[in-house]
Every structure is written in structure tokens, then in C-alpha cells.
Structure 1
Amino acid sequence: MKINEGKLDRNLRMSTGLILIGLAATGIIGLWGYIGVIPLLTGAIGICPIYSLLGKNTCPVGTR
């Protein structure tokens, strides 16, 4: 699979994932906060399976 996430998209995903996991770990939100693992992993590897299914790509042309 090819990278289909741009730099901003990846950073937002990883930040959101870390925030959700941190809130869940401290008990501020429930266990559902561990769903933040998904955006964290997709942001870390740069591939979003849903983007692939929809044909979306936020990655600049030069870095695909």
C-alpha cells in the first residue's frame, strides 16, 4: 500500500490519538478513549485504509 496521508493529516491523527489515550489512561474519559490507538497507528504509518477505499489522498504528489 502507498502512503495516502499528508504531513498535516498525520500530525493531527497522532495528536488526537495521544490525547484520547492520555485522557483514558488518567480516567478523565472512559475506556472508549483507547480507540485513539487507531488514529495514532494510521498517522504513524501514513496509510489510512478508509482513504484507500474512498480513493482519497492528502499526500503531496512528490512524496507518494
Structure 2
Amino acid sequence: MGGVENGTREIEQAGVFWLYLGKGDGTFAACTEVGAGWNKSKDVIGIGDGNSDAASTCPC
């Protein structure tokens, strides 16, 4: 089972946010553009990553 928890994300220097969903087999589906303008944000953390260590702290 794939999804964000098996995937990764990237914000280009130009501010375009890309999402790479994991397929659950160690590979990734085609990237999806989330949107532009993310270079205006100083910090971006993942949902459930309250301490910014790149690991989920969500108890779900």
C-alpha cells in the first residue's frame, strides 16, 4: 500500500511543491504538482512531524 507515508516531497528553488507518492514496493508513482509559491515559506514540516525530525509524531 503506497501513499504519502511511503513517499517524499520536494520544493524547488522557484517555489513549486512536488509530491512523489510511494507505491509500497520501494518505487514512486509519477510526481504531482501541489502548487507554486512555496518559496515564500520559511519552514515547511510534514503533517504529524511536530519536532521537524522527518518522522511522524502523529499517534494515528
**Class of the TM-score when normalised by the shorter of the 2 chains:** under 0.3
TM-score scaled by length of structure 1: 0.21
Structure with higher RCO (Cα < 8 A, 6+ apart): 1
Give the helix-richer structure, 1 or 2.
1
Give the strand-richer structure, 1 or 2.
2
